[in-house]
Amino acid sequence: MDLMDIFSKYVDLTETDIRMLNPLVWAYVGDAVYEVFVRSYLISTERKNSHDLHVKSIKYVKARSQSEFLALIEPELTEEEQNIVRRGRNTKTYHVPKNADVIDYRRATAFEALIGYLYLMKRYDRIDTIMQLILNKAAQ
């Protein structure tokens, strides 16, 4: 049994339940999933201490970067994924960090919503495809 199978035991939701969740819930989950992907990637490619890894991870997880990554993957998204992104982008957030642009923050929320939605729907291969696009771009 792999890690994703273990994690999925704890998601006791039907596809209908998942579709009905508030997009901010998708983003909440997507933030964590994306962070684990980024950290896993960095520890396998960088031989640094935890502080340096944290500093490097900011390049991937800040709102502006996530907004740019969303722009990169948007042409590759299915119609369903585009709808998830639209819902995530248009959801009212209650605060925007002072170091983030409002538009970037909304697009970052949309990106995280997409990752969270795909995770909850157990579409791990799709997350992997998206992460490959992002990591290849970020490595340039």
Catalytic, 31? Answer: yes
Q: If we measure between CA atoms, which residue out of 132, 113, 133, 124 comes closest to residue 31?
A: 113
Q: If we measure between CA atoms, which residue out of 10, 48, 45, 5 comes closest to residue 29?
A: 10
Please pick, among 2, 5, 17, 31, the residue that the annotation labels catalytic: 31
CA dihedral of 59, 27, 19, 136, whole degrees rounded to 10: 10
Name the token pair of 59: 């390049």
Running DSSP on this structure, what letter comes out for residue 62?
S
Which residues are catalytic, by number? 31
